[in-house]
Structure formats: C-alpha cells, structure tokens
Chains A and B, each alone.
Chain A
Amino acid sequence: MSSDAAYQRLALKIFVEFSGSIAIPAILAAVFGEWLDMRYGTEPWLLIVTMVVAFFATTVVVVRKARFYAREYEKLNKS
C-alpha cells in the first residue's frame, strides 16, 4: 500500500511539468517571434509561425507526458 505522500508528489510533478510545458514554449516563441519580426520587418507573420510551432510542440509534449504519468499513476495504484 502506498501512502498519500507518494500521490501528492506525483501530483506536484504533474503540476510542475504540465504548467511548465504550456507556459515556457509559448513565452519563448512570443519573444523570439517578435524579435524575428522586428529584424526582418515581417510583422506579424514570423510571430505567428513561431507561436504555431510552440503550440504544436506543447501539444506533442503534453500528450506524451500525460501517457507517461498515466502509467506512473497505475504503477502507484498497484504498489
């Protein structure tokens, strides 16, 4: 039987990873896209491109992590 602490730690890990993988790529893409637009004078197209790439990357990462943590949760239930 596993204690509540193990579940809480898993929950905290999920919070950390999910909120990070949603926020961080979006911000970096926004900053990078704005900078590219300013440099090449293509406002707002490069920003849109970087944001689409960031959202796509986030989706892939979140789905993979969700699968991974679902397995972790099952493991905790069994142990």
Chain B
Amino acid sequence: MIIPPAAAEPIFEIGGIAITNALVNGWIAVAFFAILALALGRMQMIPRGFQNFMEVIVDFLLKEIQKVTGDEKRARAFFPIVAGIFLFLLFSNWLGQLPGTGTIGVYGVHHGEVALLPLLRPAASDLNLTIAMAAFAVLASHLFGLRALGFVSHVSKFINIRGIFQAFKKGPIAVLVAIVEFGIGLIELVGEVAKVMSLSLRLFGNIFAGEVLITVMLGLFSFIVPIPFMLLELLVGAVQATVFAMLTLAYLTVATDEHGHEEEHADDHASEHATEPAH
C-alpha cells in the first residue's frame, strides 16, 4: 500500500483523456443522484413513501438556506446551486469511507515503480475538482450579482469609478474618501481570488489529509484502531460539505445584497434574519 500522492492517479485512458481514480468517484456520485432522480419518477401531488422522504430533505435544506438569504425568492434561486454542492460533496466525501476505497486497485507505474493504484479515491481529494467547484461558486455569485444589481452597481463594488464621480458633487474631502474607497475596492478584487483559493484548498486539504490518515492507520493496525479515525472522517466529510455549501451561499447572498459588501455585514444580516420567526 502506498500513501496517496497529492495528485490523483490516472488508472486508464479513454480517447487520450486520462481517467483518474478521483474522477471515477465523482462520476459514481453523479450517477447516484441521477438514478435517485429517475427512481423518484413522476411526482405525486400527495407525497408518499420515498418521495415524502426526499421532500423532507429538500424542505429542510430550503428552510436552512432561507435563514441566510432572508427572503424566499433568493432562497429558491440559490437552492439548486447550494443544495447541489452540499449533497454532492456529502455523498462523495462519505463515499471515501466505503470499504475498498484506497485498497482495491490495479497495478500500475507510480514514480517509476510498480505499485497498487487504488481504483477509488474520494472525489474532493483531487485539487482539480475543488478548484473547479470553488471557481464555479464564486463565478455564480458574480453572475447573480450582475443580474440582481445591474452591471454598474455590481462592478462598482470592485472598481468604484462611479463613487469618485459622485464625490465630486460633495466636495474635496468626499473625493479623498472616494479615492480610498476605490483602493479598498481593488483589494476586494484580490479577495475574490483568495475566496477561490481558500474554498478549494480547505476542502482538498481536509479530505486528502483524511485519506492519508486512514491509509497510515490501516498500515499500522488492521483492526479496531482505525475505527475512531473513520468516524472522525465521517464528521469531517459532513462538516466540510456544510462549510463549502454555506460559504457559497454567503457569497451568493452578499453579491446580491444592495449594500454591505463585507462578510461581516452578511453575517449581521443573516443573524437578523435568523432570529426572525419563520413565515
């Protein structure tokens, strides 16, 4: 058994495209949800059994999202993105605990030596996937922001030329303040890149570290001792899925807010809304 390398290992090729073991796991998760959707079949007005169970999950997620956004319209608009990210990550993180992940594999060349390359590897332990998801989340927040606020208002959050023009009417001090605000806007532009970095590295780091930890523990002891670490991994998988989804939701909410472009503001809004009674 080898300690998993940071990059996912290609196990075979289809038409020149390397298929990595992390990609296999990702597609298993996608297939799972596709089959789930097909199994639901036609929706009944009065839900029973399986559909009822699914509706409980969807309803719970929608309510949690609405606590952050504060209004139902945005909650419904963000629901597919946020709930999709959450459920996909939760399932693919937990899939990493499936017996056989990291242990069943094919023999291939690894660093010039023949080694067992695992067939399955948690999808989020590939930095390619997490960067893609984080880039999508931040990009989506900008698209929603553009749609909600309009081009000028949204771009002015980062490149605040409009603020400088408006300040000229108010006097010299206001112009000075506007120039400082312009600089802050530029810093926020860097912050957008940092968002992608921190989102993707956090998820990758936690899931990949978990995979390495489990491999090492299984290498040291075969029985009993790895169990608490596996339970820990279940917790980490759920927590990281929640964190990624909630941060995406926070970015989406802040981007579509009329004012307050700092994270702290969003939290204040969220707390105000959260303490309101549910409608």
Contact = CB atoms under 8 A, between A and B. Distances in A.
Contact of A22 (B67, B205, B247, B267): B205
A4 to B, nearest CB: 9
B141 to A, nearest CB: 16
Q: Mostly helix, strand, loop or mixed at chain B's interface? A: helix
Interface stretch (B110-118, B174-182, B196-204): B196-204
Interface in A1-34: 3, 5-6, 9, 12-13, 15-16, 19-20, 22-24, 26-28, 30
B51 interface: no
B128 interface: no
Interface stretch (B33-41, B81-89, B213-221, B236-244): B236-244
A73 to B, nearest CB: 15
A9 B205 contact: no
B169 to A, nearest CB: 40
Nearest to A21: B202
A13 B6 CA distance: 27
| Leading 4 A-B pairs by shortest Cβ distance | A23-B205, A5-B274, A20-B202, A24-B201
Interface of B: 6, 67, 197-198, 201-202, 204-206, 209, 236, 239-240, 242-243, 246-247, 267, 270-271, 274-275
